[in-house]
Amino acid sequence: MPRVEPQQIRNEVETIIRRIRPENKAEIRNSDRLREDLGLDSLHSMELLSAVTEKYEVDVDVEQLQEVRTVGDVVSFLSKLLA
Q: Quick: pLDDT tens for 42-63.
A: 899 889 988 988 998 988 877 8
pTM, two decimals, is: 0.88
C-alpha distances (whole Å) from 29 to each of 11, 14, 68 are 11, 9, 15
Give the pLDDT of residue 53.
87
Average pLDDT value over all residues in the chain: 90
C-alpha distances (whole Å) from 54 to each of 14, 24, 33, 51, 69 are 15, 23, 22, 5, 20
Q: Which CATH number fits domain 1-60: 3.20.20, 1.10.1200, 2.60.40, 1.10.10?
A: 1.10.1200
What is d(CA 51, CA 66) in angstroms, rounded to the nearest whole number?
18
Buried b (16+ CB within 10 A) or exposed e, 11-40: ebbbebbeebbeeeeeebeeebebeeebeb
Give the pLDDT of residue 1.
58
The 10s digit of each residue's pLDDT in 7-45 is: 999 999 999 999 999 998 889 999 999 999 999 998 998
